[in-house]
Amino acid sequence: MKKTDSKRYKTTFRVGLFDTDFTNKVKLTSVCNFLQEIAGMHSDVLNWSILDLLKNNQSWVLSRLKIEIYDYPQWLDEVVIETWPVGIDGLLCNRDFKVYSTSGKLLMIASSTWIIINFKTKRPVRPATILDFNDFVPEYVFEKPLPKLRTDIPNSITKQTQVQYSDLDLNQHVNNVKYVKWVLDVCELDFIKNHTISSIEINFLREAKYNDTIVVHRGECINNQQQFEVRNQEGDKIHCTAEIKWKEM
């Protein structure tokens, strides 16, 4: 099912076995893939797709993402996702989402912030010079646009990884979903078995490339809230920050 009135786009995704974890529920990384995919589908309808931008050496880059989860679909479930571009804030483009069951139950809401980058100059491009303001729907799923995420992790547990071929996207940078995977992989399995994620907020700050060594830092979980940072090996550059709110099962 695909429905669009141009300003809004809606389609259905099926939760495959590869999308679920040991609880038989959808993995957060798969949810992020669904959101990324439908954002691309709608951008294509609006003639704003990555392929459209690449003609001028430009591309979309995800800057911020927040997902609030009320319930998790399971293997073989179908989910209906609706998305729309909310508006422009300077160099930032905002896009929101709602995720429903096929019966109409609201499962999740999400908000994202994107930047258009010129590959040759390595500089952001003002979206107002490219996008049509008539295509925006100024309805935010959260009260206001996503702010910059502030993290403070004085003592942390770390896990090191190296960027591989399978981590790269069309821009030859680490795909944003890989950062979510790295953040979750630094968590202890026993903890995950007794907790579920009620929300995640993540900021993508700096690109990581093939063969880069990455160190993921996990802060202490305080009042079911936990912060993370993804840094370079030297520790002087932050690629990504994240905050997860957990719920005890």
**How do residues 60-83 score in pLDDT, each as one tens digit?**
999 999 999 999 999 999 999 999
Structure tokens at 11: 């389609």
Q: How many angstroms separate the CA atoms of 139 and 82, rounded?
A: 13
The phi and psi torsions of 26 (rounded to 5 degrees) equal -65, 140
Q: Which residues contact 79 (CB under 8 A, 6 or more apart)?
A: 12, 13, 15, 26, 34, 73, 99, 100, 101, 102, 107
* Average pLDDT score over residue span 212-232: 97
3-state secondary structure 214-243: EEEEECCCECCEEEEEEEECCCCCEEEEEE
Question: Residue 239: CB partners within 8 Å, gap ≥ 6?
Answer: 174, 179, 204, 205, 206, 207, 208, 214, 230, 231, 232
- Maximum distance among all Cα pairs of the chain, rounded to whole angstroms: 50
Could you read off the pLDDT of 147-165 as tens digits, one per residue? Answer: 999 999 988 999 999 999 9
Res. 4 pLDDT band, cuts 50 70 90: low
* pLDDT for 3: 60
Is the torsion defined by CA of 1, 41, 15, 227 positive or negative? negative
* Residue 190 tokens, joined: 């026993």
Helix and strand totals (H; E) in the chain: 4, 12
What was the pLDDT predicted at 57? Answer: 94
Tell me the CA distances in angstroms from 115 to 50, 130, 132, 235, 240, one per residue in order. 12, 12, 15, 25, 15
In whole angstroms, give the CA distance from residue 208 to residue 214.
8
Whole-number Å distance between alpha carbons of 79 and 106: 10
What's the confidence (pLDDT) of residue 155? 83
Q: Give all domains of the chain, ordered by start, each with its CATH number.
A: 2-135 (3.10.129.10), 157-248 (3.10.129.10)
Model pTM score: 0.96
At residue 145, the pLDDT reads: 84
State residue 29 phi and psi, 5-degree precision. Answer: -65, -35
Distance (Å, rounded) from C-alpha 113 to C-alpha 140?
12
